[in-house]
Amino acid sequence: MALAVLPPVVPAAPGAWVSDPGVQRRLAAGEVVVQAVSGADPERPRGAVRAAVRISAPAETIWKIMTDCQQVQIFVPGLRRCRRVDGAADGSWADIEHEVRYSWMLPTVDYVFRAHYDRPRRIDFRRISGDLKEEEGAWLLMPAPDGSATIVEYEVYLDPGFWIPHFLVTRSLRKDLPAALAGLRERAEQAHAGR
C-alpha cells in the first residue's frame, strides 16, 4: 500500500492549558484532567478534546508502552485490535490499524492512522483510511514542573462521519478517556518500579 507522507498535525501550544495552576493541582492529586475544546472553527464542527495525566515514570518508559500495540490493547477501553501495518525503517513514523467498539449501541469502527514520532516527546497522528471521516491529534510527554514525573497530554479532533448522539460522545469521553490514561499510568509506574 503506497501512501503519501502526511505532514504532522500541530495542535495549539503544547502544555499551555496544562500549565494552569488549577490543572497542575488536579494532576498532582492524581486526577486525569479532561477538557472539551469548543468548536470555534466552522470547518471543524465536531470540536476536540484534550486530556492530561501525571505519571511517576520517565518519558522513555511511557513511550515504550504507548507505542506497543499488545500493551495498548490491555488498557484502552473498546480497543479490539491494534496492529502496525507499515512504518519507516528509522522509526520516524508508523501506520497503525485500530478496531474500536465505542459502545454497544454503535458499530465497530476500523481505521488506520499515521503516527509521526519525535521520541520520546511527541506523537502526531492523523487518520489516513477507514471508517472515520477525520481524526487527528497529538500525544505530548513533558517533565512535570517539579521534575519528579512526566505529564502526558493528549489532544484529539474526531469527526466520525456519521451522526452520534451527543450524550454518547460525552459519556464516552468522561469514562473511557480517563480510564485509558489511568491505565497507561498504572502500567508505566509498574514498569518503572520493576526496572
Q: How many domains does the chain have?
A: 1
What pLDDT, on a 0 to 100 scale, did the predictor assign at position 104?
66
| pLDDT tens-digit series, residues 97-124 | 999 887 666 678 899 999 999 999 999 9
Does pLDDT of 154 surpass 50? yes
Specify if 102 maps to a domain: yes
Specify if 188 maps to a domain: yes
Q: Which of 40-44, 63-67, 90-94, 101-105 has the lowest mean pLDDT?
A: 40-44
Contacts 24+ apart (CB under 8 A), 18-27: 18/52, 18/142, 18/151, 18/153, 23/52, 24/145, 27/52, 27/53, 27/54, 27/144, 27/151
Q: Which residue has the higher pLDDT, 6 or 20?
A: 20
| pLDDT tens-digit series, residues 80-89 | 999 999 999 9
Specify if 56 maps to a domain: yes
Specify if 184 maps to a domain: yes
| pLDDT tens-digit series, residues 21-58 | 999 999 999 999 998 876 555 555 556 789 999 999 99
Q: What are phi and psi of 44, to 5 degrees?
A: -130, 75
What pLDDT, on a 0 to 100 scale, did the predictor assign at position 167?
60
Mean pLDDT of the chain: 84
User: CATH number for the domain including 60?
Assistant: 3.30.530.20
Specify if 12 maps to a domain: no
Specify if 9 maps to a domain: no
Specify if 7 maps to a domain: no
Record the pTM.
Answer: 0.85
What pLDDT, on a 0 to 100 scale, did the predictor assign at position 158?
77
Q: Which residues constitute the domain of residue 79?
A: 31-38+45-193
Q: What are phi and psi of 164, to 5 degrees?
A: -130, 130
What pLDDT, on a 0 to 100 scale, did the predictor assign at position 9?
37
Specify if 112 maps to a domain: yes
Rounded Cα distance, 175 and 170, in Å = 9
